[in-house]
Amino acid sequence: WVPSEQRYVTLRVSARGLRTIDKIGIEAAIERINNNENIN
């Protein structure tokens, strides 16, 4: 569940992507993905 999206999301992430999400948070990672930025 992602509160800002008001929905559940399914993710396929690498180990590096998971570390990034742990570091910056899921909200920031989703924002970067939506802006087509590199999340690494």
Q: What is the mean pLDDT of the chain?
A: 85
Share of the chain above pLDDT 70, in %: 90
> Which residue type is seen at 12?
R
Does pTM top 0.75 for this prediction? no
> Which residue type is seen at 34?
N
Report, as an integer, the average pLDDT of 16-22.
Answer: 91
Cα–chain-centroid distance for residue 32? 7
Is the Cβ–Cβ distance between 27 and 2 less than 8 Å? Answer: yes
pLDDT at 25 over 80: yes
> Given pLDDT bands bounded at 50, 70 and 90, which one contains residue 37?
low
Cα–chain-centroid distance for residue 6? 15
